A and B are shown apart, each in its own frame.
Chain A
């Protein structure tokens, strides 16, 4: 069966609740196409999310889905992967979920190099609560909660991910579906923590920061000569304020959390008292 024929197998039948014109439809299509392309069994897929418009995505896909609480998708996913490393784990969430309330977890799950793929839907606004500024809002300065301007500067998610130690960092755009699909496939194949920042529009509350026409005009693909193992070069691309580079910024191989757990078990088993009985005897 061809990937396009498998596409429907990954749909749950629940209709998305997103607004007409929402960029998330493109991301959903790219993600499901990636699943179909990789031919992953639905029972081996775990799709985990926090709270927000983006976090509703798992309902629409036929996988094992976990719609948790605001900002905590990454630590939940870390737990899932710890107990069952055989599952393919994908985390989806928005910029508020991942960088505001959940901002404290991002560096740690990234540096632990948990073998999962994290898709951050960056629309630079709180959509579900109807139009308050988010940690990535910059141009659209007057929102419902910033009528007289923003209190702080915007966060750059991809640049953060590189510095946090994510071992795969890319930036995609919801309008460029095939390109995004390929970034997702590459991220899911990457053994370790893969992070994809996805620029996307909010058709209801923020058409300024994520103005589709502007992004199309400003975007360029990451240069073929870019060395994805060069962390500083990756950081320069991710932080370029003149142009938006789409593609893979950084990729490196290092042990995943599961590799570390296996090593800990190996070292522990070389010690004394390795059976339950022996552990009980310590106290006799």
Chain B
């Protein structure tokens, strides 16, 4: 039987909730389990409610789970707020002082005096989370030695006294749990495999993956929820000879990227929607001047300042079209594996001399998930086509030839001095505003997108799942893929066949795969996190197909149940139509 277990830990920010979740997650990852997490952040800088949810499985996990098997709450507010999400046969581990809900329930409840134990036995309230971890170790049957090893690694730098403190707190938690928790309620923590997995957040994976891809120049301006990318790089990129510069605004950041890339480096910036709005003029410059660049957009909610700490997928059309004139660019939207996908973004950007927007969102940026460590070994698979300086003068930077990609020349290359420019230009890079040149150069730039479509690098970049004979199709993108995958599975169990496709490259779209998909299904549902249905609109205008748009703007990811209800309605409409042919009344 497969292992599938969902744990939620909730409390006040500052109580060490995240440490508890991360420790369990890290240990599971070391055992080779797959896991995906979801966490909420308080709007306040200090204090406020927070929680972390982990879904662990020995199979691939796409979604963090709706109902939890085990809930751990550290205070009354956390209990009240989260109890409804605990399954009826679930286990609650909560602070002894808390008052339980009045209505009867079949849940197993263990009330342990975490606060009192931490204060009286360990002598510090800060140790409470380690006491909880000790109790959890017993409940989840995690070998104590493993937790101890992990805590030693993690806190070694803080000195022997802290380590001893933690060991004692851990032991206290386990001891108290042993006395109370009935062995029949203990969960099984699977035995380890030797294939440890990395446990990493989306933002960390983007930063690390870009570093692996050879990115050495980063320019950025702090913005929620992307700042962690710059913070990670500021701490680590200089170790590898890289440079990180916090600029005065996003315009300066993207211009720094433009300059560094033109000078021959692999350069990147990371921001959120407000930053992309500011960068859009320079994205047009990168497009017409044919300079590679990678721009990470971790989307947040709403226009303007909107909802900075909430997730949304409402920058799609900005990413695909945002800037004046016809300005082709790449849009890549990973659904997981940011670690390797960012490398692909660099490869495609460099090979086709285009800006690439790497479209993620707050949920994907913040969530911890397991990743195959092999992804951190991905070597760059393409490079910029460059002149070697062997030629004569009058270098034609924008040569119109059979290939839409013309060789660049990195400053410093002999006999290739030339202009790059945001003005319309001739082959030499000299400004030329006649209609013939503008047409020829616009066609050249857009031909690169066509070439990307047929490039082996971008082939197989759609995730497909479900029943390939299904009449109901779902097309989605980005982090909405997880809940869709979960919903398709549940629909199947309920006897409704659904198939789904999730393109990970949104500009250019994988036309061949999508056309085939649309031909095979009768109805197309497009779930996404924005108000107007941006992806649905893009699909309708590109493929002239009717779509059923499922949108949500609550600042949190879609839930499988929300998708299931649209699947249900769609299935009903298909069968209603079929029966109505025979004249049966509804």
Contacts and interface: CB of A to CB of B under 8 A. Distances in A.
Q: Do A and B come from one complex?
A: yes
Nearest to A79: B259
Most buried by A among B211, B260, B282, B418: B260
Contact of B264 (A62, A69, A84): A84
A45 B414 CA distance: 11
B219 A268 contact: no
B199 A283 contact: yes
A269 B238 contact: yes
Contacts of A80: 259-260, 262-263, 411
A71 to B, nearest CB: 8
B414 A43 contact: yes
Contacts of B240: 274-276
A108 B241 contact: no
B7 interface: no
A274 B239 contact: yes
Contacts of A283: 198-200, 204, 208, 371
Interface string B379-393: 000000000010000
A66 B238 contact: no
A273 interface: yes
Interface string A269-284: 1010111100110011
Nearest to A10: B417
A78 B431 CA distance: 24
A246 B263 CA distance: 34
Contact of A64 (B30, B198, B235, B418): B418
A63 to B, nearest CB: 6
B416 A78 contact: no
A66 B420 contact: yes
Contacts of B429: 65
A80 B249 CA distance: 17
A67 B422 contact: yes
Contacts of A213: none
A280 B198 contact: yes
Contacts of A105: 248, 251-252
A83 B267 contact: yes
Contacts of B253: 75
Contact of A261 (B208, B243, B281, B282): B243
Given A68-B422, A265-B241, A82 B260 contact: yes
Contacts of A45: 417
Interface in B227-278: 235-243, 245, 247-249, 251-253, 255-265, 267
Contacts of A48: 259
B376 interface: yes
B196 interface: yes
Contacts of A275: 239-240
Most buried by A among B219, B262, B389, B414: B262
B212 A83 contact: no
A223 interface: no
A224 B215 CA distance: 49
Contacts, number: 184
A208 to B, nearest CB: 30
A14 interface: yes
Interface in A7-38: 12, 14
A77 B429 CA distance: 19
A199 B466 CA distance: 70
B176 interface: no
B286 to A, nearest CB: 10
A68 B236 contact: no
Contact of A269 (B29, B217, B239, B256): B239
Contacts of B211: 276, 279
A245 interface: no
A159 interface: no
A101 B198 CA distance: 46
A76 B259 CA distance: 5
Contact of B260 (A65, A79, A107, A279): A79
Contacts of A12: 417
A283 to B, nearest CB: 4
A75 B257 CA distance: 9
A4 B30 CA distance: 70
Interface in B409-458: 409, 411-423, 429-431
Contacts of A279: 208, 211, 236, 239
B192 interface: no
A79 B286 CA distance: 14
B285 interface: yes
B412 A87 contact: yes
B546 interface: no
Contact of B238 (A82, A87, A264, A276): A264
A280 B373 contact: yes
A44 interface: yes
Nearest to A42: B417
Most buried by B among A69, A108, A257: A69
A160 B55 CA distance: 57
Interface residues of B, number: 67
A79 B411 CA distance: 13
Interface in B5-49: 29-30
Contacts of A76: 255-256, 258-259, 262
A273 B236 contact: yes
Interface string B189-229: 00000001111100010001001100011010000000000
B242 to A, nearest CB: 8
A53 to B, nearest CB: 13
A77 B259 contact: yes
Interface in A204-229: none
A185 B519 CA distance: 68
A65 B217 contact: no
Given A66-B420, A80-B260, A108 B252 contact: yes
A275 B236 CA distance: 9
A86 interface: yes
B295 to A, nearest CB: 14
Contacts of B263: 46, 79-84, 87
A82 B241 CA distance: 12
A72 B236 contact: no
Contacts of A81: 259, 263
Contacts of B419: 58-59, 65-67
Contacts of B256: 75-76, 78-79, 82
B248 A79 contact: no
Contacts of B248: 104-105, 107-108
A105 B237 CA distance: 24
B282 A83 contact: no
A42 B252 CA distance: 27
Contacts of B409: 64
A43 B418 CA distance: 9
A43 B259 contact: no
Nearest to A283: B198
B412 A68 contact: no
Given A83-B260, A284-B197, 5 more contacts: A82-B265, A104-B249, A265-B242, A268-B236, A269-B239
Interface of A: 12, 14, 42-46, 48, 58-59, 62-69, 72, 75-84, 86-87, 104-105, 107-108, 112, 257, 261, 264-265, 267-269, 271, 273-276, 279-280, 283-284
Q: Which 7 A-B pairs have the closest CB atoms?
A: A79-B259, A79-B256, A75-B255, A268-B238, A83-B265, A83-B260, A64-B411
8 contacts: A65-B418, A65-B429, A80-B411, A81-B259, A275-B239, A276-B376, A280-B208, A284-B196
